[in-house]
Amino acid sequence: MFRTSLFSATRSFSSSAFRLQNSAFFDEFAVILKTDLKKSMLAKDNAKKETVKMLRSELKNFEIDSKGKENNEFGISKVINKMMKTRKNSIEEYSKLERQDLVEHETAQLKCLQAYLVQLPIASEDEVISKITKLLEDKKSSLKEDEKMPLAAVIAKELDFKTLSEQWKTSEKDIRKNLFMVYKQLKL
């Protein structure tokens, strides 16, 4: 009997300690989804209800898969973008098969996901690209006319990606990805 209670106590402790690795916004977003699920059930809005259920499930899977890391709004964004990509592909496939009912259903789910993506306190990709463009142009203007700006010089010690990600409200990965893209476009 003592073993059973000890086992259940340690199991509940480990699962609660696991949940503590979420940011405040991640937990708030889970509460928002729960209330939205209740509202959509009362309103009998099946598309939103299904979308919220799938989103909650995907976020829970993401939370389990990323154990040891802090789950934050960037993780939520990653999950929502992945789900949106799936919906867009489905819409394209259903359009080819001329299944208008399924196209409408997937479109309703896509709109719901876009509404949640807008609620996240993160910068859009366009905002990040414009900030990177401005940053690179400022770096270029500080160079002499005949000098080329090597990308390694920009990345090396001049940029603190952690600080930039906090200031710009985006992930370090997005900054790095867009930095290379903008650098190639500007042909520096």
Per-residue tokens: 1: 């009997």
Helices marked H in 97-171: 100-119, 125-141, 151-153, 161-168
> Structural domain boundaries of the chain?
14-119, 125-186
Sign of the CA dihedral running 115, 78, 58, 56: negative
For the chain, the average pLDDT equals 83
d(CA 182, CA 3): 60
Q: Is the pLDDT of residue 100 over 70?
A: yes
The pLDDT of residue 11 is above 70: no
Tokens of 76: 């939520």
pLDDT at 60 exceeding the cut of 70: yes
CA 33, CA 13: separation in Å to the nearest integer? Answer: 25
CATH of domain 14-119: 1.10.1510.10
Q: pTM of the entire structure? A: 0.74
Average pLDDT over residues 14-28: 70
What pLDDT shows up at residue 116?
A: 95
Q: Give the model's pLDDT for residue 163.
A: 85
CA distance 103 to 106: 5
